[in-house]
Amino acid sequence: MNIYCITHKPLKEIEKLGLTPAGVGTANFPSNYIIENTGENISHKNQYYSETSFHYWIWKNLLPKKKDKDWFGTCQYRRYFVKKENEKLIQNLDGKQGYLKLNSLEELKNILQTEPVKEWNNYDVILCNPYNLEVIKKMKLFKRGYKSIIKDPSIIFNKKKHTIKLHFDMFHGHGNLEKASKALPDKDRNDFMNFVSSRTWLSGHCIFFSNNTDLLNNFYEDLFSWLSECEKIFGFKDLVGYDTQRIYSFLTERYMPFWFNKYAKTLTWPWIFCDITKF
């Protein structure tokens, strides 16, 4: 199974893990890297699209050549799918999702999910195990979510209202997700808003495994058509700071689990956060 590990800087550790390094951004990458500024690409948008610009590369350059039904997928240099038996060891805490203490690169390599397993039979897509969006610290809720609280004070006490939409409003611009939803086609607009307004968990991080090329083509067609419309709303020049500069990546992160849950047979799988540059 070919797994593209997306990174914005060259890291020899990626190759040691047996993954295919995929370079995004402006760094100079070795010749053995898949680099997003080759072929048909939107690499010039990477500072706003983050890993989503590599998904565009997959759509335009990989999928047209992929005729088999073999599984393949993506990870990031700090987020990886791991074998199922590690699931109970992983901690999801406030601000520390996917935590599993590892002491070496070899330990990580031993638990990586690098081959399809029988549990995936009859599924189209493997997504990250979801993490809970409940805002534990009331101070953070008041500081970042005060506009939402003014509109609905019950958010303070009702954990069922700590939804994807509230999370986006708090961290990526209040009202921006709703603005973006208006650019969706009729077939998805209401369903998307129902999804983000009711779910208190998120299968995030824009990584996946799949063996269904036709499905992925449809997904990417819908995704990038939507993001193109969103560019008319948010543009680029006024996007500053971590929380909003990469808004197209954050939109993708919410759209991906929505679309796959609506149109595909999905299964979630254990993943961990592990910064391999620390070993």
Model confidence over 223-269: pLDDT tens digits?
Answer: 999 999 999 999 999 998 888 999 999 999 999 999 999 999 999 99
* pLDDT surpasses 80 at 22: yes
For position 79, what pLDDT does the model report? Answer: 97
| DSSP symbols for 221-270 | HHHHHHHHHHHHHH-STT--SHHHHTHHHHHHHHHHHHHHHHHS-EEEE-
pLDDT band at 154 (very low <50, low <70, confident <90, very high): very high
Query: Can you say how many angstroms the Cα of residue 260 is from the centroid of all Cα atoms in its chain?
Result: 12
For residue 92, name the pLDDT band (cuts at 50, 70, 90). confident
Query: What pLDDT score does 78 carry?
Result: 96
Check pLDDT > 80 for residue 96: no
Residue 95 has pLDDT above 70, yes or no: no
Mean of pLDDT over the chain: 96
Segments of the chain assigned E as strands: 2-7, 20-23, 34-35, 72-76, 79-81, 91-93, 96-99, 125-128, 131-132, 201-202, 209-210, 266-269, 271-273
Q: What is the pLDDT of residues 32-85, one digit of tens each?
A: 999 999 999 999 999 999 999 999 999 999 999 999 999 999 999 999 999 999
- Domains of the chain by residue range: 2-130+203-278
Q: Say what the pTM is.
A: 0.96
